[in-house]
Copies of this chain bind each other. A is one copy, B any other.
Amino acid sequence: MTDLLLRLELSAFLDHYTNIIDSDRLEEWPTLFTEECLYEIIPRENEDAGLPAPVMYCDNNRMLRDRVLSLRHANIYEKPAYRHFVSGLEFEIVDETTYAVHANYMVVNTSQAGESAVYQAGRYADEVVRTADGLRFRSKRVIYDTLRVQTLLAYPI
């Protein structure tokens, strides 16, 4: 039963993460990561080939906060209208407070013309740790299948 409840807790944490992005509360996004952390978005082809070439790469929390600031002050990007859908969560217990978590994600985006379509699909490969403040990502790797997604990749997924 412990594992089932842990699964539920991890699922709630991922749901909270995606809601922060979808409701444009980006300032809260870095608060879900530990101070030392990794966040990267990487195409699946590179991941499979072992070639590191992320399209977004942040290796500490300050870089995450900088990313948000720059998104807020640079108006060069059309603000996306994302809806995240997460499915297929699985995890392994690495140690007492560390979990390796995997899940499929899909982002549906609605264009300014009002059309909704699959914008991006892929999988999350995360390391989640239990801290005094609750669950946090020590590492979140967003590995995407979709190749034609470059324009909006300034935003977190």
Contacts and interface: CB of A to CB of B under 8 A. Distances in A.
A16 to B, nearest CB: 6
A84 interface: yes
Interface residues of A, number: 41
B121 A19 contact: no
Interface stretch (A31-39, A50-58, A70-78, A109-117): A109-117
A46 to B, nearest CB: 13
A44 to B, nearest CB: 8
A83 to B, nearest CB: 5
Contacts of A120: 116
User: Which 6 A-B pairs give the minimum distances between C-beta atoms?
Assistant: A114-B147, A110-B145, A85-B87, A116-B146, A108-B121, A116-B121
Interface of A: 1, 4-5, 7-9, 12, 15-16, 18-19, 22, 44, 81, 83-90, 102, 104, 106, 108, 110, 113-118, 120-123, 145-148
23 contacts: A4-B9, A7-B8, A8-B8, A16-B90, A18-B87, A19-B88, A19-B104, A44-B81, A81-B145, A83-B104, A83-B106, A83-B145, A84-B104, A85-B85, A85-B106, A86-B87, A108-B118, A108-B121, A113-B147, A114-B148, A115-B148, A116-B120, A116-B145
